[in-house]
Amino acid sequence: MTGCQHNRIIINDGPHATEALNTLKKDIPAESLHSIAEKAARIIEYSVDPVVGPPEQPSDGLLYGLIQSGKTSIIIISAAMAADNGFKCIILIRA
């Protein structure tokens, strides 16, 4: 687990994230998966805490990057970590 703002603990090794990482490891090197997991945990750190509620300062986010830079993998792991951290509804929109 990794610490975050306001003493919030982010679960980054829960069952959903573990299953997603195990699925991706067939096609992605271990060091890249580690980087993807770190970036996904950072995204969850900046999201609304589903237990406490919205932060004092609103936090909107945008994930962008070059073609084939790992955005889809980061989104998959972020969604899995969100489920492990108490989010009940996860909606992904992509173009």
**pLDDT 10s digits, 3-61:** 445 578 999 999 999 999 999 999 999 999 999 999 999 999 888 888 888 777 776 77
Q: Look at residue 1 in the predicted model and tell me its pLDDT.
A: 47
* 18 token code pair: 């573990």
Q: Could you state, in order of their start, the residue ranges of all structural domains in the chain?
A: 2-84
Strand partners, 9: 3
**In this predicted structure, what is the pLDDT of residue 73?**
94
Q: Which pLDDT does position 62 carry in this prediction?
A: 73
pLDDT, position 86:
93
CA nearest neighbour of 79 among 20, 7, 5: 20
Q: Which residues in the chain belong to E strands, given as ranges?
A: 2-3, 9-10
pLDDT at 6: 58
**Residue-level pLDDT at 65:** 78
Span 68-76, average pLDDT: 89
State the pLDDT at residue 39: 94
Q: Please indicate, yes or no, whether the overall pTM of this predicted structure exceeds 0.75.
A: yes
